[in-house]
Amino acid sequence: MPDTVLNTAIAQAIYKTPAIQTDDILQVSIQTLDPNATLLLNQQQVMAPTPQQGPTTVISGYLVDKDGNISLPLIGKVNVKGKSTDAVRDDIQVKVATLYKDPVVNVRFANFKITVLGEVTRPSTYVMPNEKVTLLDALGAAGDLTIYGKRENVLLIREGDGRKEMIRFNLNNSNLFSSPYYYLHQGDVIYVEPNKNKVAATDMQQVKRISIMASVLSLLIVIASRISF
């Protein structure tokens, strides 16, 4: 946007709830008027790796199996693959209502992971607190781009339905906010490419190391030749 603009409205992308996929972990909370039933219905625990907290940690939730189902106590199997968390919530609420009066059901992702790599302050895999995550949210979690990050060519890698999509963003362009990829999906990978200054600095360091090694090697040859003489 031009610097002279003081206030302007920008069309923003429409948020679509991400679809649940195999190996996702869902956190399901069911509340009923019977405390004992509530306790039984909410027995959920899955062991899963979390990079930020060590090799293995406990994530409370239900793992989506290869057939796209989760298994709930008393309720049984519920097909969730390809559905939004809101749709799954409604499906579970209908099933629980056949057993208990006025149940309250909440469903959310327990492992909504985004990976940020390249020229950012803290490259890593991040478990986001909610599923409505934007590209800027992910970059903010990683501490923003470094001074060497190429803001005109940020790469988003998205995998789904057996194929990979690669989308490039220009963070200096307001069209970013209207992109259908502005809101991220579970498992998205963001890569920030280094700019020419970083590449040049890296090349200079390599040349410097090679020069030092060549000087040391020449000195050793001179010393060895004199000792032999």
Classify residue 122 by burial, with Cβ atoms within 10 Å: 0-12, 13-18, 19+.
exposed
On whether residue 100 sits in a domain, the answer given is yes
Q: 86 with 120, same domain?
A: no
pLDDT single digits (tens) 49-64: 554 444 445 677 899 9
Q: Domain residues for 118?
A: 113-196
Give pLDDT, residue 4. Answer: 60
| Overall pTM > 0.75 | no
pLDDT single digits (tens) 172-213: 988 899 999 999 998 999 999 998 776 555 555 665 677 677
Q: Specify the number of domains making up the chain.
A: 2
The Cα–Cα gap between 159 and 115 comes to 13
Query: 79 Cβ partners below 8 Å, 6+ apart?
Result: 67, 68, 69
CATH number at residue 63: 3.30.1950.10
Q: 79 with 123, same domain?
A: no
Q: 120 with 70, same domain?
A: no
Q: Are 131 and 109 in contact (CB under 8 A)?
A: yes
Q: 121 with 190, same domain?
A: yes
Instruction: Give the rounded distance of the alpha carbon of 70 from its chain centre.
Output: 22
Q: 64 with 133, same domain?
A: no
CATH number at residue 158: 3.10.560.10
